[in-house]
Structure 1
Amino acid sequence: MKSAIAILSAILAATSVGSASADDTYPSKVIRMVVPFPPGGTSDFVGRVVAEQLSKDLGQTIVIENLPGAAGTIGTVNVREAKPDGYTLLLTSSDVTIVPSLQATPPYDPVEDFEPVALLLRYAHFLVASKDFPGNSIADVIELSKETPGSINYASGGIGGSNHLAGERFQSVAQIEMTHVPYNGNGPAITDLVANRVQLLWTSLAPVSGFIDTGQLKLIGTSGTERSGIEPNIPTFSESGLPGYSLLNWYGVLAPAGTPEPIVSQLNAALNDVLSNPDVLAKLAPIGATPAAETPADFSALIGEEIVSWQQIAREADLIAD
């Protein structure tokens, strides 16, 4: 009798565990989506557009929390330390694979500390100049930089960010010297670019398109492998005499390591649906990005490839800390 009761208890326990793993009630409370950069930049823009539609599709509130600092490290570490239950997510970019590439003792491991949930978008950076910058082309930037090395400056969203390394890579390929001016996020960098306090910035189109339309900023070139469909008159760096220069970036969603696979799969399917929504695509169109609909495994493979690629760029620019 006792053995029969023990067997029945084991069966019930196993059934209970299986139900908990599937978590048919998810999401049953507010989801926090951390954006590790300040309001006003592209990451914030993408996060809010995606979260708005995802909230409608899941029938649950999603709150955006901006936690900027240290090229996205502060917000990223915050999510790493969160409970892996699907209620804390990280809206991240290529930058999440860069920071660990620059430090001997990284603050986080993008492979071991997170579960890849969904790759959202792929996009190219544009080189944007202040309206008073004396050049109008990539060739002009190179010529001016060679005339007086270090006299031309470029802003970034922080040391170790993708637009910082885009500038470092440009200097290496063009064999020039420029001055890097890091900010705490792209939003403040764009503000100073418009005010002519800095001269250049690598960025996506969305946060600067209005300033370009009013003539407060001007486009110089794109880091993509081909011209943008939104700005077809803007040349690539490759066709402007730098065939070795091209960089593509991305946005995606990560969860803390240990987040249950059923929740990851549910979120992946929901986010892929969001990226097929015509209204969402229309809102994201100014970025000039290509929507991605891939599995968590595909996203994981991309992260591994990116770490190797950024390490090479950082090594060439002598940016890896001892």
Structure 2
Amino acid sequence: MQTTSKVNAVLLAGDRRASIALHNENKAFLNLRGKPLFIHVLEALLRAEHVGEVVIVGPRERLIQSLEIFGISEDVAVVEQRENMIENFKVGYVCSLGLDETQEFWNLKGSGYESTPVLVVPCDIPMLLAEEVDEFLNRANMHEYDYSIGVTSKKILRYYHPHGDTPGIRMIYFHVKEDLMRHNNLHVAKPLMLDHLDYIEKMYEWRYQTRLANIVRVFFSALTHGFRFAKGLRVFIVMQLSLYYDRHGHPKLADRIRSIAGFNRLSEGIGNVLGARVQVVYTHFGGAALDADNEKDLAVMDRRFDEWINYQKNLYS
């Protein structure tokens, strides 16, 4: 399936461990402007120049029914979800290689697939455009790195914040020396090259870093994994302190603290945790960073959908 000019993609639409439901529903199937969220994301992937085939992992029968309703069949495979996000990703990656889903992921180590990357995208970013996907893939250097993580600057995302009486989405940012930035939900990786793939599941479960319990979990998990987490722990502590003081009305102190953690330290720290060569990649549209994590944000997306989509399209033109 993999070609020299295109990267196959895995679209995660599961609703089991560590996933968050809205309205007691799998977010993949929530309606936005007449379409389930995952259809919005899927259409962006299928329009992207640098994306080949797409594997969707989730409740298979429901996904197939939705695809039939919207007349989508080409370049899409659907796989039944497993018990957690990492297992969904593993089976999705195996299928993206054109292999049967019963093939054991780790048995592929040493089989020649180590250099084959895959794009990984969640189902809850309906503002995503094909142009942002292509920008990310164009900037991701998969010759020198094993894992590229997408980010977007606060300077870009400020447009989507609330303004006066106009509702918006205000996000939490990573604080590093050069910038305030937000993870934008785009990943491209050569997963068989990651020594500690299992830790991504933990980071996903603990991703809400304004919750004290999650901060404590990450801190002690890093301590118990020894020397290879030392740099990652240092960056984590600095970013958390900067975020804390910024959120509590001390922006100057936050800026002084984050000056300790440079942009390169962030990728090095993540690389140490995962046992991989990691690159952080900027995109400049903003749609990929707007995830429907709660009912309020989904309502804002519905209200401002046309405006935000047109704004991104004008950035491209």
TM more than 0.5:
no
Task: Point out which structure has higher relative CO (alpha carbons under 8 A, 6+ apart).
Answer: 1
Name which one, 1 or 2, has greater alpha-carbon Rg: 1
* TM-score between both structures, scaled by the size of structure 1: 0.26
* TM-score between both structures, scaled by the size of structure 2: 0.26
